[in-house]
Amino acid sequence: MITVPVDLGDRSYEVLVGAGAREWLASVVPSGAKQAAVVTQAGVGFAVDPGIVHEQFEIADGEAAKSLATVEELCRAWARCGLSRADVVVGVGGGVVTDVAGFAAAVYHRGVAVVHVPTTILGMIDAAIGGKTGVNLPEGKNLVGAFWQPSAVLCDTDALATLPPREFRSGMGELAKYHFLDPLHRDLDRLPLDERIAACVRIKADVVASDEREGDHRALLNYGHTLAHALETAGRFDLRHGECVAIGLVFAAELANVCGRIDEDRVREHRRVVGTYDLPVALPAAVDRDELITLFGRDKKAIGGVTFVLDGPNGLELVRDVERAAIDEAFDRMTA
């Protein structure tokens, strides 16, 4: 078992990565908790035992479940079953589950402890780590949320054996961004899967420890996500989150090249990494550029004009007020 600490002072916790990690759940449930609310989805099929009285609550599948209505339903159900502020919520599933369970835990009784048991690669390396929780609005992704750190995260790699191939590849889209977040980890694809996941967790833990509340440094974790979130919000494309991120990474590299920040070799490296994971590298047909640019402006990083995380001579940086002409040229390269 690989243990990765997330150092946040009195809110510090550990992430356990490896086969059978869920068996540690009872040992990480906060002392004093008498009851657990286990939040999951019907198709997850990954049973856990928190070691105390518990009840399971299922939310709907897909991004549609990331809504204020779902959070209200959970909180009302918890109130009916007598869940107290001293108890615990356990999120078991992918990023949708951990985002929703974490946000509901953050607002119920103004804060109930939460432990995450992510069952997808996306959940293990991103959604369950770092305390960012939230739900979507029709106007954009993750526009309502809270920072609420978990008490522990258990990344049981046994759960990945049952993932459909496309879901597995989608997780690799999120993993691909870590190749560019830390120059020491550009060969992540050479590591065994559990070590690769732990390396990503370690990178994210370091970023979160230095910038818990998403200033400019933590925003680097959104590399590739400005376009990705716009594609998801547009909602007309048959693309999973990680597939959108993969396209967003290549787009960000092309945009950085247009802006004179990186050379062609670096763009090719982005395309190589994304291709290694058998992910898309081109925009879907018939995208509406004006619509995407409007959605760029609603991105939570967008303070002072359209904002992207872009690669450059000093690594990834937050770049504001990116000009429309540069964005259009990058779009042209993505559709050529």
Dihedral sign computed on CA atoms, order 96, 276, 222, 13: positive
Q: Take residue 277 and report the two structure tokens written for it.
A: 């994971």
Which of 141, 179, 241, 301 is catalytic? The answer is: 241
Measure the CA angle with vertex 276, ends 204 and 301; round to 5°: 40
DSSP character string of 255-273: HHHHTTSS-HHHHHHHHHH
Which of 202, 222, 232, 243 is catalytic? The answer is: 222
3-state secondary structure of 56: strand
Residues 6+ apart with CB under 8 A from 319: 259, 261, 307, 308, 309, 310
Which of 136, 169, 174, 212 is catalytic? The answer is: 174
Active site residue 66: no
Which of 22, 66, 132, 177 is catalytic? The answer is: 132
Measure the CA angle with vertex 12, ends 10 and 14; round to 5°: 155
**Amino acid at residue number 229:** H
Active site residue 222: yes
Which of 22, 177, 196, 204 is catalytic? The answer is: 204
Helix 241-258, helix 324-335: angle, nearest 10 = 120
CA distance 320 to 305: 6
Active site residue 174: yes
**Is the Cβ–Cβ distance between 104 and 89 less than 8 Å?**
yes
Active site residue 195: no
Q: Which one-letter DSSP state was computed for residue 123? A: I
Active site residue 204: yes
Q: Which one-letter DSSP state was computed for residue 217? A: T
CA distance 195 to 138: 37
Active site residue 214: yes
Active site residue 225: yes
Active site residue 270: no
Which of 225, 270, 300, 301 is catalytic? The answer is: 225
**Is the Cβ–Cβ distance between 179 and 273 less than 8 Å?**
yes
Location of structure tokens 């960000």: 252
Q: Element (H or E) spanning 155, and its range? A: strand 152-156
Which of 66, 202, 218, 270 is catalytic? The answer is: 218
Location of structure tokens 């953050």: 106
Catalytic residues: 110, 132, 174, 204, 214, 218, 222, 225, 229, 241
